[in-house]
Amino acid sequence: MVDAESSDQFPGDFDGMGRLWTPHRMVYLNKETGETGCPFCTAPTRSDEDGLIVARGEMAYVIMNLYPYNSGHLMICPNRHVATYDQATESEVAEIGLLTQIAMRVLTEATGCVGFNLGMNQGEVAGAGIAEHLHQHIVPRWQNDANFFPIIAQTKALPRLLGDMRDLLARHWPAES
């Protein structure tokens, strides 16, 4: 349950900002998952549905981002626990690249997106939320997908649930990949 609360109820100067309380994110922010080990090493041990995995390759896999910037926000992770791109083998780099290409095609076909943001944050200082395990972000974009919510209300509206989006993309993923 997400609760919204106006800041006019608090002591101090009214700043006009609403507060969207998301206590479930403390697990991510505090890195207290209740599980031991790396979440990108744990996810592949679960079923695709429970792990939010869209597709698996030989050396890497495609997973939904638990805290997406847009609906369909995917990540490509190597199976092997390595922290940075330069530690990946040539074969891992090649498969990450191939899965990225396929993911872009699948997202375009399944969602009608018209652009992408691709990126890797290497190290905690560079913004990696999970710096210990390499992962590449694929964020689908649509014309005018940034509405007033993030700017005015500091809130992101996501029209599809993670499980529904995982199911949609998994259905569109080619069998021969």
8 A C-beta contact, residue 164 and residue 97: no
**Cα–Cα distance measured from residue 13 to residue 33, given in angstroms and rounded to the nearest whole number:** 35
- 81 in active site: no
19-34 average pLDDT score: 54
Which of 73, 133, 135, 137 is an active site residue? 135
- Tell me what the mean pLDDT of segment 28-39 comes to: 61
Q: Where are the domains of the chain?
A: 38-172
- CATH superfamily, region 38-172: HIT-like (3.30.428.10)
What is the rounded CA–CA span in Å between residue 11 and residue 133? 42
What separation in angstroms does the CA of 40 have from each of 66, 105, 113, 142, 148? Answer: 11, 23, 26, 28, 33
Q: Cα torsion at 124, 127, 130, 132 (round to 10°)? A: -40
User: 163 with 49: CB under 8 angstroms?
Assistant: yes
Mean pLDDT rounded to a whole number for the chain: 82
Give the whole-angstrom CA distance, residue 159 versus residue 140: 13
Model pTM score: 0.74
How large is the average pLDDT for residues 35-45? Answer: 85
